Amino acid sequence: MKITVAEIINTHGIRGNLKIKSYSDNENRFNKDSKLFLDDEEVVIESSFKHKGSIIIKLKNYDDINEVEKFIGHELTIDENDLEDLNNGEYYLFDLIGLRVYENGEKIGSVVDVITGVYPNDIYVIEKNGKEVYFPALNATIKNIDLENKKIEVENFKDYE
């Protein structure tokens, strides 16, 4: 399975640089000589730097804006086997999508999305009866995440409906 780690949002300059939006917590993911997939092609990062809240990368063998414009809107991915091990209590976002949400043993709905980087904490988008509820992922509201049984136990859900 391929895991999306960034989206190409624009070009940068005329020498083939690409502006990306990172979805990765791994700060080394886009360093020189890192290997990623662009569509089904393995690509290697020649150089990278941070610029105005984004990351600018240069891919080896792509040296002109005309060669890279077609990549705008595409995703950069890695193989699932290349994911780093997480600490206890940490989860990959893709692991949370689809988990059933319970409060006091009663099923409320399912996680359909996770919003990151917009608010001080992550927001779980929970679908309940066809309606999306934005629920903060805080220690005070998330009691337990059980990936093995595909469920999350929450508290105070009614405060956010």
Alpha helices by DSSP H, listed for the chain, are 65-68, 93-96
Task: Indicate the residue among 36, 60, 82 that finishes a domain.
Answer: 82
- Model pLDDT, residue 52: 87
- Model pLDDT, residue 17: 97
Mean pLDDT by 10 residues, the chain (161 residues): 92 96 86 95 96 93 96 95 82 90 96 87 94 93 94 92 81
CA-angle at 6, arms to 86 and 87, nearest 5°: 5
The answer to whether residue 87 is domain-embedded is no
Residues 53 and 6 in one domain: yes
Instruction: Tell me the residue type at 136.
Output: P
* Span 98-114, pLDDT tens digits: 999 999 999 999 999 99
Full residue range of the structural domain in which residue 63 is found: 2-82
Say how many CA atoms lie within 13 Å of 33 toward its Cβ: 0
- Model pLDDT, residue 159: 86
Domains in the chain, number: 2
- Model pLDDT, residue 154: 96
The answer to whether residue 154 is domain-embedded is yes
Q: What are phi and psi of 31, to 5 degrees?
A: -70, 165
User: Do the Cβ atoms of 114 and 93 come closer than 8 Å?
Assistant: yes
Residues 99 and 156 in one domain: yes
Residues 51 and 97 in one domain: no
The answer to whether residue 16 is domain-embedded is yes
CATH number of the domain where residue 113 is located: 2.30.30.240
Residues 104 and 63 in one domain: no
